[in-house]
Each structure stands twice: as C-alpha cells, then as structure tokens.
Amino acid sequence: MCSLPSFPRTTLILGGSFDPVHWGHLHTAQAALQATAADRLLFVPAAASPHKSAGPFAGAHHRLKMLQLAAHGHDTWEIADLEILRPPPSFTWDTLRQLQAANPAERFILLIGADQLPKLHTWRNFPLLAATADFAVMPRPGWPLSPSRPDNIPPEAWRHFQRLSIPEFSIASSAIRGRIAAGESIDDLVPPAVAGYIRQHRLYLPAP
C-alpha cells in the first residue's frame, strides 16, 4: 500500500489587543486568509498592550472570550491564549517559538499592517524571526502598500514578505470604546454576540 506524502499546513497569525474585536479585524483577517491561501487563521490576543488612547480597557479574559464568540462557526479560525498565559514581557519571537515547538512541520505567516514596517527591525530577534516565518503586509489607513523594500529591512529578509492588496477597514477599537462610554450603539461595528457580551458585562463604561 502506497502512503501519500503529508504536507504541512500553513497558519496565518494575527496578533493584537482586540479591545474589543470588531468587524474590521474579522473582515481583514478573512481577506488575508484567502489572499495567502493559508489553511487556518490564528488569533493571538496580547496579555497587555501599551494603549495610547484613553480607557477603560477590558481584561485579558474578557478579550479572549469576545474573540471566541466572534470566531464561533468559522472552521478555519482558531484562537491561541499562549500570550495571555505566558509571564510578561511577551514578544512575537517567543510566541513563534512556542507555536513551532508544538507544530514543528507547520509554516507560519505573520500578518502585519503597513504601519509596522518602519519599526519592524526593532522587534526582538527580527533577523531570526524573518528567517523562520513569512510576513504578509496589509494596507492600513494612512499607510498604503509600497512596491519597494523599506531601507530598514535587509534584502534577504524581504524575500519572506508578501504584500496583500485587500480592502482597508477604518474601524478602531478606541472609537468603539468611545462610543460605548458615550452611550452610543456599536451594533454596526462588532458581531452581535460581542455586542451582547459587552452589554452583559458592562465593559468600557466610565467608572461611576
């Protein structure tokens, strides 16, 4: 009996604070999944993130639960809580090594916004990161895709990058938090289950 060769699957990784997860995250991630032809999409919520805008913010367990609600019914969407469980500080390089240890035959693609390119060389162990994983770069509001290689990324690393011509969704989690604080509806910005969870747990409301 002839055994067929097994091909490693490809995983597209999207990390972030997801505070809260919204349609912009989800539509962009699905479009990137199709553009890269990856087998699965892995959301990796951060344990904490240095927010630049005003709070209040949701705890890690709430952000994880909202992601689980948003991903329900999508067979190719998965969520990894390894950054939430790992002691800080948390770096993408540590996450990738942990994922590779559990899935040694897997190919990983890191989905990033074009706004991350100018500072990507400052990421921990970036040369090793670029040699180990691939990068998929998507446009961000105010950050269109450039056809040329950025000066801060060496040519040997640039070979591991692909540019994705996918739609931009100009939804910001900070704007959603602001709407909630102002008593405005967010039903058009997040999945119904997420909106219900936010109302149930009274997330993002100003302190009494």
Q: What is the DSSP letter of 48?
A: -
pLDDT value for 5: 43
Q: How far is residue 202's CA from residue 115's CA, in Å, rounded to a whole number?
A: 32
pLDDT value for 123: 96
Q: What is the CATH number of domain 42-201?
A: 3.40.50.620
Q: How far is residue 64's CA from residue 58's CA, in Å, rounded to a whole number?
A: 10
- What strands lie across the sheet with 77-79, from one edge to the other? 77-79, 40-45, 10-16, 107-113, 134-138, 161-163
Q: How far is residue 49's CA from residue 125's CA, in Å, rounded to a whole number?
A: 19
Helix 192-201 / helix 60-71 crossing angle, nearest 10 deg:
150
Q: What are phi and psi of 74, to 5 degrees?
A: -105, 105
pLDDT value for 114: 94
Q: CA 14, 18, 21: angle at the middle one, nearest 5? A: 100
* Site of tokens 């500080």: 89
Q: Which residues contact 130 (CB under 8 A, 6 or more apart)?
A: 153, 156, 157, 160
Q: Taking the mean position of all CA atoms in its chain, how far away is CA 70? A: 13
Q: Which pTM value belongs to this model?
A: 0.92
Low-confidence ranges of the chain (pLDDT < 70): 1-7, 49-54
pLDDT tens-digit readout, 170-199 = 889 999 999 999 999 999 999 999 999 999
Domain ranges of the chain: 42-201
Q: How far is residue 152's CA from residue 36's CA, in Å, rounded to a whole number?
A: 24
Q: How many CA atoms lie within 13 A of 49 on its CB side?
A: 24
pLDDT value for 52: 53
* Beta carbons within 10 angstroms of residue 88's beta carbon: 9
